[in-house]
Structure 1
Amino acid sequence: MSTEGFALFDTPLGHCGIAWGDRGLVGVLLPEHSLAQTRARMKRLYPQMHEMPPVPEAQAAITRITALLNGERDDLSDIALDMSEVPPFHQRVYEVARAIPPGRTLTYGEVAARIGEPGAARAVGQALGHNPFAPVVPCHRVLAVGARSGGFSAGGGVATKLRMLQIEGAQIGDAPGLFDGDGPLQQVRNSPDTLADKPRMGQQRK
């Protein structure tokens, strides 16, 4: 990517934002309550950037993000992200999160174990709460113990998290319902293979 800027784009969830620089995407923003609010938040987050038509790499990411939010099963794990401003611990958390396929979930504790930090579930939650790349880094696929939804810092909060999981085919458990808050979720297990058997994904392009 030879320039930097940001753009807004429409999805089934509403208008999202995307920002890019020379080394990849620097941020993706899930919808605020309105297009104007999404634009205003992008300007606050990236005051040095101007809104402009997306460069080809950003447009390709927009197309794939929109497809994911339309129910297509694309894990987005090969989209280049610029994590130069992301703390090392957060980078490790995001790498594990990027390896979770659509329709599958892990708990905060399971992510902590996979980065070699058992007992760091709370720190994992904090790292995901500062995720600037959702849904390219799919923090919505990380749940609290007992397959409960946990928190979600993006616009719309937990309701947005649960809707994204529903779009991806995650089976919602018994009451409370989809938009009733911190309800149980049943993990989707599409095959007997575990995530530990899958190769790590989400390496940044050089």
Structure 2
Amino acid sequence: MGEGGHLLFPTAIGTCGIAWGPGGVIALQLPEADAPRTRARLLKGLPPLPEVAQPPAGVRAAIEGVQDLLTGMSRDLLEITLDMARLTPFQRQVYAIARAIPPGQTRTYGEIARELGDVRLARAVGQAMGHNPFAPIVPCHRVLAAGNRPGGFSGGGGAVTKMRMLAIEGALEPDLFDPRFCAE
């Protein structure tokens, strides 16, 4: 994927950011209130990465995949290589399970915890999702709290953005979307 860099790119829900290194995508940031905030959140905690106008082919493909997903195309984005070197083994397990959730479908934190072998891990699963540096490549928006409530969402706009992304994917009816039910 080249030496590494970052850039911002347009999507149907706003300006996103992507950062990459030799091992793959390091981070993907959903839109914040404005482009400078998106860039700042993308780069927080990362080594210095130059802004690159023409990214390598793998990064261009990742950007196109995210853009497609956010316009409603059914994309699982499994072809995108992620560099998970800075993550814990637990986060890697949780993200692998989340990546297997097909577009338009959801699972709960408890279901993922059960798949990991201990339903008591549901809160830890939620925390891992809250630290997901790859949304929506790792589709944490497809993971809900008990009772299919939205739960939290660390992306800009919080749970409202999560529900908007699920509506785009067809996982819920847009006319049933009510932001009042997205309390953290």
Identity, % of aligned pairs?
Answer: 52
Aligned residue in 2 for 1:192: none
SS in 2 for 1:180: helix
SS in 1 for 2:179: coil
After TM superposition, where is structure 1 displaced by more than 4 Å over at least 4 residues in a row? 172-175
Q: Would you say the 8 A contact 1:172–1:178 is kept in 2?
A: no
Amino acid corresponding to residue 59 of structure 2 in structure 1? A
Q: Distance in 1 between matches of 2:36 and 2:2?
A: 27
SS in 2 for 1:25: strand
1:180 to partner: Cα distance: 1.9
Amino acid corresponding to residue 126 of structure 2 in structure 1? G
Bigger helix share: 2
**Is residue 2:147 matched to residue 1:146?**
yes
Aligned residue in 1 for 2:94: 93
Q: Would you say the 8 A contact 1:108–1:124 is kept in 2?
A: yes
Count of residue pairs brought into register by the alignment:
182
1:108 to partner: Cα distance: 0.3
Q: Distance in 1 between matches of 2:99 and 2:20?
A: 19
1:38 to partner: Cα distance: 1.1
Using a 3 Å threshold, how does the CA distance of structure 1 residues 35 and 26 change in structure 2: closer, same or farther? same
Q: Distance in 2 between matches of 1:101 and 1:56?
A: 25
1:36 to partner: Cα distance: 2.1
Aligned residue in 1 for 2:61: 60
**Is residue 2:114 matched to residue 1:126?**
no
Q: Would you say the 8 A contact 1:9–1:15 is kept in 2?
A: yes
Aligned residue in 2 for 1:182: 182
Question: Structure 1, unaligned stretches of length 5 or more?
Answer: 184-206
Q: Distance in 1 between matches of 2:153 and 2:80?
A: 22
Q: Give the structure-2-normalised TM-score.
A: 0.93
Residue deviations 1:180-202, cap 9 Å, x none? 2337xxxxxxxxxxxxxxxxxxx
